[in-house]
A = this chain, B = another copy of it.
Amino acid sequence: MRRISIFGATGSIGLQTLDLMRRQGGPAAFHTVALTAGRNVAELAALAREFRAEIAVTADETCLPALRAALAGSGIEAAAGAGALLEAADRPADWIMSAIVGAAGLAPGFRALRHGGTLALANKESLVTAGPLLLAEAARHGARILPVDSEHSAIFQALVGEDITALERIILTASGGALRDWPLERLATATVSEALAHPNWSMGQRITIDSASMFNKALEVIETREYFGVEPGQIEVIVHPESLIHSMVAFRDGAIMAHLGAPDMRHAIGYALNWPQRAELPVARLDFTTLGSLTFRPACETRYPALRLAREVMATRGLSGAAFNAAKEIALDHFIGGSLGFADMAGVVEATLAVLSGQGGLGNAAKALDDVLAMDVGARIEAARQATAFATRRAG
């Protein structure tokens, strides 16, 4: 029986993963090793009981008593804190879902590679901030990383059975986000609620705003470069408002292989869960008789400066992905908090990268995860400084 651990079990990806496991036989079909969550210990405990996990871990140590209470009599171990997350990752598992959001998700996923199994990677930060480290660690242990988001799963599927050296271009599709039809000059005035009105995908607040600003796509461009090992110039972004083509691969013979499906994360989750097989999934089937049309627009870098910044990050490489991601997180915090305008987010990230670049070391390769985490902290401090400066200028 496959041994499975899920990091971030109560988030959207974690819950959908568990639901697919439930439909494929649940605890009778999978041996669940560890389930981890943030503070939602009630749900974590219920899932751990349902899937008969060996251990349940809350990231927050203050939640440990509540978790212990919720698991009383189940025989399931309870643990808490960052150290416990790593210990959970050390428990042998064949298939590990890395779905903790943010920099906190990096270390457990990295650690789980030691088992030489499959890491289903939903944590975006891992490849953006520590791509080369992660891939080297996977190679060292004979582990496999499978992408869990629609775009990279689509690209992965388009490459099945193909020779990667025949790849000419990767075409990442982007919905264009909530503000895609706004006139350029109005963008700066967009509010949080306006940026949250995503047309296709139902996602969390942060990623929905990142979709409107294309910072999400910028991260995906960098992930694409790292994961598939292509040159930055081989990656194109195209706005495809219907979000039915999840991404495409163009080969040197002119053929383009595209992955289409309903906008449903279970495509990518289910593919990673069942790879190399394709199992029946409870996703809506596309019906081309009623679908109408698929449309495309250029992804303009004036409208979406995040895409331009992604190209700079790919040119610099080294620790710049970690700096970019951290600065974006801080800028997003300030936009959500109301102190930054929508268009200021890119300004803060750009200014942060400029300052850190001037300090030297941005292009240095990370030798260990600690280098990445140090850059993450440093960039957050600098970005907060930049955000305050932008806010002051705005108020003045």
Tell me how far the C-beta of A204 lies from the nearest C-beta in chain B, rounded to whole angstroms: 23
Neighbour of A285 across the interface among B240, B254, B295, CB < 8 A: B254
Contacting B at CB under 8 A, from A215-247, are 236, 238, 240, 245
What count of chain A residues pass the 8 Å CB interface test? 51
User: A163, B257: Cβ atoms under 8 Å?
Assistant: no
* CB-nearest residue of chain B to A294: B294
User: A252, B267: Cβ atoms under 8 Å?
Assistant: no
Tell me the dominant secondary structure on chain A's binding face: mixed
Bits for A279-304, please: 1 = Cβ < 8 Å to B, else 0.
11101111011011111111000000
Neighbour of A293 across the interface among B252, B267, B296, CB < 8 A: B296
User: B160, A277: Cβ atoms under 8 Å?
Assistant: no
* CB-nearest residue of chain B to A159: B161
Answer yes or no: A278 CB below 8 A from chain B CBs: yes
User: B254, A257: Cβ atoms under 8 Å?
Assistant: no
User: B162, A278: Cβ atoms under 8 Å?
Assistant: yes
Tell me how far the C-beta of A389 lies from the nearest C-beta in chain B, rounded to whole angstroms: 36
Contacting B at CB under 8 A, from A45-65, are none
User: B252, A278: Cβ atoms under 8 Å?
Assistant: yes
Answer yes or no: A305 CB below 8 A from chain B CBs: no
- Separation of A295 and B245 alpha carbons in the complex (Å): 13
Answer yes or no: A67 CB below 8 A from chain B CBs: no
User: A258, B255: Cβ atoms under 8 Å?
Assistant: no
Chain A residues near B (Cβ < 8 Å): 157-158, 160-163, 166, 168, 171, 236, 238, 240, 245, 248, 250-262, 264, 267, 270-271, 274, 277-281, 283-286, 288-289, 291-298
What 8 pairs between A and B have smallest CB-CB spacing? A161-B161, A160-B161, A254-B283, A289-B298, A166-B278, A256-B260, A253-B281, A293-B295
